Every structure is written in structure tokens, then in C-alpha cells.
Amino acid sequence: MSETQIPNDQATRQGGQLIWANIIFFGLSFLAALTLIPWYGIEYGYHWSTWLWGIGLWLFSSTSISMGYHRLWSHRAYEANPVLRAILAFGGCLALQNSALHWSSDHRIHHKHVDHDEKDPYSASLGFWHSHIGWLLKRRDNGRYNAQYDRCPDLKRDPIVMFQHKHYWWLSIGLNVAIPALLGIFYGLFWEMMLVAGVWRLVWSHHLTFFINSLAHIWGSRPYTEENSARDNIVLAFLTGGEGYHNYHHKFQFDYRNGVRWWHFDPSKWWIKTLSWVGVTKNLKVVPTEKIEKAKAQTLLLKAKERAAEYPNAEEIMQRLYNEYDQLVMRITEFYDAKKVWLESKKANLAYEIAEEKAHLIENYEQFKLKLEKQKLSWLKLAKQYA
């Protein structure tokens, strides 16, 4: 089919100049992972240390993307000392996903114009293939390429980011060949290290990262916002070091956590937090729980309203929904206000000076907590019938 025959709505998807270097590279590496690696295993078998290195290098490079490229450089969700920044930049070279500066520039546009057919570089609105890898195989003239990287003036002041950017290609290609080769020579397992710690590790980590742009915008739940296609997905969270809580992330992009509860599987969050105890990371940004709870309640209200509209007694249901929702928002505000006052007094040591005041503040806090829990149950019971 020639270009002129393509309908308008498909033109954006299919237009653009093919990037042959990427097509050949991604195509061949994927094919090798699919054929050579099982063939070698069947023919010769693998030593366990080969897979240990393959998995270790995958975890290191994908953590560098998540902790470094994504949360540190794209979103400035925390600050890191130069040693950690250098390690993350090094791991970013190994991940072979372009420089931190280039990656962050694209990613900032993704958040700003999420789901926009033309402006979002890997818009999920153009389907799985485009958002997964198609966007890397065709250069579309959507104005996002900017040699000066004007969208990232903050990153241009980071000498580690600029060093990595300047030397990116020889560093990353060199490391991706040299590390598996040296390991292979050291262990006397040259070809299997090249295949597993080189090819398999790269293909595996590439596609898992790509899943965040594709699957995490298609498959999963949207508890925090339905304004965009981003979704929370526990399977992807497991595979990507916590990046799968993508709905939360698109709602609150500057939070250093993607999995917001402490038990949500998010190793990058655990690393960032743990390193803050020894001063390697600092100024970790967190969204107040009150705001998060309100966003969740609002999203549920919108979902319930949509479904309730289909019922014959829609007006009555809407009224009940609004009543319960208003009550909930009030209880959330009351509780977090009481908590704030209590925490502040604790900080100022006030509560310990005046026993009566202390008892009153705790009582207030406990009371509002109970009221909030009760209201939450009542709200969820009603809203979940429709949402």
C-alpha cells in the first residue's frame, strides 16, 4: 500500500522515516535471543554462573533506568550524591536505552502530552506495537527532537549526565561487549556469557522496560486517575523493579515511590529510601497521603457516576453517592488535620509538657481515625456497587 492510500487517522501511525540501524539491531538481537540461546542450551548446556551474571546485570541495568533515568533525572523525585549518580549513569550505559539526557527529554514529553497521537513520543493511543517498540523504529517529525535539549536545563547542569551524554555511544557499546567478553574469558565460558550476559540480558531488559510504555498503558487498574491510559499492574511491577504502578505514577509523577504503600513491590523505592538513611540520597519527594486518598475517592466517584447513570433511579443514586463522597472528603480532611496537629505538638514536645493537652490531641486523632475508617467502609460499600 502506498503512502497516498493510507487513511488520515493511520497516517500518523504509519508515516515517518524508518530507522534501519534500530530495526536491524532490535530485530537481530530478538531473533538471537529466541533461537541461539535455546539452541546453545540444548546443544551444550549452560553453567549456573552464566545465568547468575545475566540476571545480575539485568537487575543492575534496569534498576539504573528506574532509579536513575526515570525517578532521579526525568522527575527529580529525589537527590543523589555524585557516586550514586555515576553508578546509575554507568548502569544506564549498560541498559542501552540512549543517554539519560535524551531519555529524560522524551519521558518529560510523554508525561506532558500523555496519550496524544502526535506529541507523546510513545503514545499508547497508537496501539501496543507503536508504544512498545514501533516508536523506536520510525522517526516521526513531531517536533520532539531538539539538539539542545532545552526541556532539561537542570540536567544540563549535571556534569555526570553531560559526560555520559557526550560519550554515550562508545561507552555503552563498549561496555555491552566488554563486560560479557571479560566475564566469559574469566570463567572460560566465552560464548555462553556473550549469549546470556550479553544478548539475553539486553533483549530481556529492553522489552521489560518497553512494557511500561505499552502494557502498563493497556493492562491493569486505574485507581488514582482515569484522565490518561496509565495503569497499575502488579505483574509488571514485579518484572520492572516497581515501575508497574504506572497509574499512580502518572497522577503523582514527582513522588519517589511508584508503589505508594510500603509493602507495594517497588525495589527502586526501597533502595532510594534505604540510601537516604546513610545520606547517599536526600530530599525524597512524597505526596501527602491525604491528597492520595482524595484522588482515589474522586476517581471512584467518577467511575460510579458513569455506571449509575444507566440505572432508572440514577438521580437518587447520584444523590447518595455525592452525600457519601462529601462525608468521606470531610472525614479525610478532619483526620489528617488532627494528625498534623498531633505530630507538630509531638515535635515541639508540647504534648509531653502538658499531659492534658497530649491526651486531648491523641483522643482527637483516634476519634477521627475511627470516623474515617467507618466512613470509608460505608463509601466503598455504596460506590463499589456501581464502579
Contacting positions for Zn ion (CB under 5 A): 230
**CA separation, residue 286 to residues 175, 242, 252, 298 (Å):** 35, 16, 9, 20
Q: From the CB of 217, what's the least distance to Zn ion, in Å?
A: 6
CB of 251 to Zn ion, least distance (A): 11
The residue number whose beta carbon is nearest to Zn ion equals 230
What is the residue whose three cell numbers read 508540647?
350
Q: Phi/psi class of residue 16: alpha, beta or left (left: φ > 0; alpha: ψ in -120 to 50)?
A: left
Among residues 215 and 230, whose Cβ is nearest to Zn ion?
230
We find the least distance from the C-beta atom of residue 343 to Zn ion, in angstroms, to be 30
**CB nearer Zn ion, residue 65 or residue 301:** 65
Least separation in angstroms between residue 246's CB and Zn ion is: 6
Residue with smaller CB distance to Zn ion, 131 or 172: 131
How near is the Cβ of 188 to Zn ion at its closest, in Å?
42
Strand partners, 18: 138
**Coil, helix or strand at residue 289:** helix
Sign of the CA dihedral with 295 first, then 298, 302, and 304 last? positive
Q: Which of 89, 230 has the CB closer to Zn ion?
A: 230
- To Zn ion, the closest distance from the beta carbon of 135 in angstroms equals 12
Kindly state the smallest distance separating residue 90's Cβ from Zn ion, in Å: 21
Q: Which of 240/299 has CB closer to Zn ion? A: 240
Residue ranges of the alpha helices (H) in 217-347?
234-239, 246-251, 267-277, 289-308, 314-347
Q: Which is nearer to Zn ion, 230 or 297 (CB)?
A: 230
C-alpha cell at 262: 510500603
Q: All 3 cell numbers of residue 309?
A: 447513570
Of the pair 66, 375, the CB lying nearest Zn ion is at 66
In the numeric block, the cell 554507568 is attached to 90
Q: What share of the chain is helix, strand, coil (3-state, %, to 5)?
A: 70, 5, 25
Residue 350 to residue 338: CA distance in whole angstroms: 15
Shortest distance, CB of residue 69 to Zn ion, whole angstroms?
10
In which residue are the cell numbers 528506574 written?
66
Over the range 267-290, which residues count as b (16 or more CB within 10 Å of their CB) and which as e? bbbbbbbebbeeebbeebbebeeb
Which CB atom, from 208 or from 230, has the smaller least distance to Zn ion? 230
DSSP codes, 80-122: E-HHHHHHHHHHHHHHTS--HHHHHHHHHHHHHTTT-TTTSTT
